[in-house]
Amino acid sequence: MRTRYAWLAAALIASGAGIARAQQAGTYDPGQLPAIQGKIAQYSLTPRGDVDGLILTDGTEVHMPPHLGTQLVFAVKPGDAVTVHGLHARVIPMVQALSVTNDATGATVTDSGLGGPPGPEGARQLMTAQGRVLAQLHGQQGELNGALLEDGTIVRLPPPEARRLAVELAPRVPLYVQGDGFAGPLGRVIEATSIGPNENQLAQIVAPPQPPRPRGGLRP
């Protein structure tokens, strides 16, 4: 049985369908997928400030959809030991989680594959941060999209800009960041507008183009 599910996971990755296929209608048992155990260092945050997963103390990124963020916060918190079932990235320490279980309480958050509306976006403020990069951060497809500073601040950039400025986001490199963000009990995140080794040497972040607005009314 485990061999069958291992083959399934590999096939899903190869086909580009990823974990979404495995989630449809709750068909597959998360417990049959590969598992990792670890301790939570902090929540992962989107540029909007939504919880979209976990960062473990060993640096592993655990991704879940942002609409499950509230459930995740109620089920687990930094310092908790967890078991994560999901699909592992081939190279980087990252898991697309199908379920996250609190080892002490048994509370489990499961991604059923059903989407949900994004929560309301809170008021953002102009923020800065300075410190050494602890680790690079990635999106669900493994694309570089930010960095984690040693003080726990999460820095997010559009993936094309993160690739362009990858040297600035390398571990142990000093980084100064300016941008809009959130700071609260769940963590601190900045959507960068400029980054550099210090405040006197900054590269501007090019924002991604906005999708065109539809012209006129709806067609009958």
- For residue 209, tell me if it sits in a domain: no
Cα 152 from Cα 38, distance rounded (Å): 18
Check whether 23 has a pLDDT greater than 50: no
**103 and 129 together in one domain:** no
> Which of 110, 143, 161 is at the close of a domain?
110
Q: Is residue 149 part of a domain?
A: yes
DSSP conformation letters of 4-15: HHHHHHHHHHHH
Do both 38 and 64 map to the same domain? yes
Q: Is the pLDDT score of 217 beyond 60? A: no
Among 75, 110, 145, the domain boundary falls at: 110
Indicate if 6 and 71 belong to the same structural domain: yes
CATH number, domain containing residue 96:
2.40.50
Mark whether 103 and 185 lie in a shared domain: no
Average pLDDT for 18-29: 51
Q: Are residues 10 and 94 in the same domain?
A: yes
Statement to judge: residues 99 and 11 lie in one domain: yes
Residue 191 has pLDDT above 60, yes or no: yes
Task: Please indicate, yes or no, whether residues 105 and 9 belong to a single structural domain of this protein.
Answer: yes
- pLDDT tens digits, residue range 44-65? 999 989 999 999 999 999 999 9
Residue 42, domain member (yes or no): yes
Closest CA to 97 of 115, 114, 109: 109
- The arithmetic mean of pLDDT across residues 10-14, rounded, is 41
Task: DSSP for 50-114, please give it.
Answer: -EEEEEETTS-EEE--GGGHHHHHHH--TT-EEEEEEEEPSSSSEEEEEEEEETTT--EEE--S-
Q: Is residue 28 part of a domain?
A: no
Mean pLDDT of the chain: 85
In angstroms, rounded to a whole number, what is the distance separating the alpha carbons of residues 69 and 36?
20
% pLDDT > 90, the chain: 70
Residue 218 belongs to a domain: no
In 3D, which of 164, 220, 174, 211 has the Cα closest to residue 196?
174
What pLDDT score does 26 carry?
54
User: For residues 55 and 44, is the Cβ–Cβ distance under 8 A?
Assistant: yes
Q: What is the CATH number of the domain that holds 198?
A: 2.40.50.140
Domain-embedded: residue 211: no
24 in any annotated domain: no
Same domain (yes/no): 104, 10: yes
Tell whether 219 is covered by a domain: no
**Per-residue model confidence (pLDDT) at position 10:** 44
Residues 101 and 176 in one domain: no
The domain total for the chain is 2
Q: Which domain holds residue 161?
A: 125-204
| Residues 104, 145 within the same domain | no
Same domain, 177 and 81: no
Q: Which amino acid is at 201?
A: Q
What is this structure's pTM? 0.82
